[in-house]
């Protein structure tokens, strides 16, 4: 299933993409009309948190089936051209990011391949087709990083590597917008990577992406391909990342782990290829879709 969160007719909803249509089922409306569950989840995060993954998917599947055979199925759908897609989920913790997890990317920035972890503020989250500032008042080196995001489905601490995928709910796309000059001058990443964090457009449940370690990540700036790499090139794999993180922090349902970016960022180009006002960045990942961000 492809879950999303969106604004429609001045209200925020969450839903699932309608198969073979550019629209979304409005899940709160389906719960109200086709379910006996009175205290139903009002947000996608509540759905992920309060239900076992398969139980929630089965419940949603039954709701969609009921809506499909109803007399007025279209009243439960939100057309994509009438909605504003938001970040699919707001993690209970900050978005947790791994840097230097692709060898060639570390090399292009003259960094060592080492454990490099930082967080991104939830206030920075934006959705698909969002327009973000160029932040030219504070940086002249605004950069992009296309990344696979892993969405956690249940709470865990000290997770064994062999059990790591049991804690995965699904996957999304993260564009790790970075101010390179600030990152260098601050000697840490929180502020320089919390200006804006595009995420989405969907959370795709893990059953639809059986091998997330063999997915292509392609980033385009305008029409130019800048990044074209596979998750197979990760230094630390998804199960390693989950296991390592859980040694130090308790992972909670809805937490998002950004797993690192392939080579091809603007800072690694000669001449530099930083983004500027008027640019559009598109990050595509197999099985998920494309996350588009416009620079104001």
Task: For residue range 155-213, list pLDDT tens digits in order.
Answer: 999 999 999 999 999 999 999 999 999 999 999 999 999 999 999 999 999 999 999 99
In this prediction, residue 95 carries a pLDDT of: 94
In this prediction, residue 39 carries a pLDDT of: 92
DSSP H or E run through 181: helix 180-186
Answer positive or negative: Cα dihedral of 275, 113, 231, 190: negative
**Residue where the block lists tokens 């990050």:** 283
Look up residue 167 and give its DSSP letter.
G
Chain mean pLDDT for the chain: 96
In this prediction, residue 201 carries a pLDDT of: 98
pLDDT in tens, 54-96: 889 999 999 999 999 999 999 999 999 999 999 999 999 889 9
Q: In the chain, which residues fall in CATH 3.90.850.10?
A: 87-295
Structure tokens at 77: 């759908």
Q: Check pLDDT > 80 for residue 4.
A: yes
Mean pLDDT over residues 29-47, rounded? 95
pLDDT in tens, 245-283: 999 999 999 999 999 999 999 999 999 999 999 999 999
In this prediction, residue 110 carries a pLDDT of: 84
Instruction: pLDDT band for 128, please (50, 70, 90 cuts).
Output: very high
In this prediction, residue 191 carries a pLDDT of: 97
Q: Check pLDDT > 90 for residue 38.
A: no
Structure tokens at 185: 């001058």
The contacts of residue 272 (CB under 8 Å, 6+ apart) are 141, 266
In this prediction, residue 92 carries a pLDDT of: 93
* Integer Cα distance of 52 and 54 in angstroms: 6
Instruction: pLDDT band for 295, please (50, 70, 90 cuts).
Output: very high
In this prediction, residue 7 carries a pLDDT of: 98
Single pTM value for the model: 0.96
The contacts of residue 199 (CB under 8 Å, 6+ apart) are 87, 88, 95, 125, 126, 127, 149, 172, 173, 174, 175, 256, 291
Given the candidates 3.90.79.10, 3.40.50.300, 3.90.850.10, 3.30.530.20, the CATH classification of the domain at 87-295 is 3.90.850.10
Q: Check pLDDT > 90 for residue 37.
A: no
Q: Are strands 289-295 and 130-132 parallel, antiparallel or unpaired?
A: parallel
In this prediction, residue 106 carries a pLDDT of: 84
Structure tokens at 92: 């209970």
In this prediction, residue 111 carries a pLDDT of: 82
* Integer Cα distance of 176 and 124 in angstroms: 11
In this prediction, residue 249 carries a pLDDT of: 96
In this prediction, residue 94 carries a pLDDT of: 84
Q: Check pLDDT > 90 for residue 114.
A: no
In this prediction, residue 53 carries a pLDDT of: 80
Alpha-carbon Rg for the chain, nearest whole angstrom, is 19
* Among 211, 178, 217, residue whose Cα is nearest residue 196: 178
């Amino acid at each position: 299933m492809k879950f999303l969160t969106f604004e429609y007719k001045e209200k925020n909803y969450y839903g699932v993409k309608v198969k073979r249509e550019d629209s979304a089922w409005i899940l709160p409306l389906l719960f109200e009309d086709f379910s006996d569950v009175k205290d139903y989840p009002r947000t996608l995060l509540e759905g992920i948190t309060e239900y076992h993954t398969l139980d929630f998917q089965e419940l949603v599947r039954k709701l969609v089936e009921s809506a499909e055979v109803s007399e007025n199925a279209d009243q439960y759908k939100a057309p994509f051209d009438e909605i504003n897609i938001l970040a699919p989920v707001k993690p209970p913790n900050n978005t947790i990011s791994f840097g230097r997890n692709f060898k060639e990317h570390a090399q292009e920035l003259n960094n060592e391949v080492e454990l490099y972890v930082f967080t991104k503020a939830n206030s920075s989250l934006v959705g698909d087709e969002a327009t973000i500032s160029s932040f030219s008042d504070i940086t002249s080196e605004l950069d992009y990083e296309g990344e696979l995001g892993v969405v956690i489905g249940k709470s865990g601490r000290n997770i064994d590597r062999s059990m790591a995928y049991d804690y995965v709910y699904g996957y999304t796309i993260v564009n790790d917008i970075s101010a390179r000059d600030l990152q260098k001058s601050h000697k840490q990443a929180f502020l320089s990577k919390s200006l804006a964090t595009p995420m989405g457009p969907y959370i795709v449940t893990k059953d639809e992406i059986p091998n997330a370690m063999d997915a292509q990540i392609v980033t385009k700036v305008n029409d130019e391909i800048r990044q074209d790499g596979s998750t197979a090139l990760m230094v630390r794999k998804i199960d390693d990342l989950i296991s390592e993180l859980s040694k130090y922090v308790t992972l909670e349902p809805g937490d998002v782990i950004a797993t690192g970016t392939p080579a091809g960022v603007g800072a690694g180009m000669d001449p530099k290829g930083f983004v500027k006002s008027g640019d559009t960045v598109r990050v595509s990942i197999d099985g998920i879709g494309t996350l588009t961000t416009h620079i104001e």
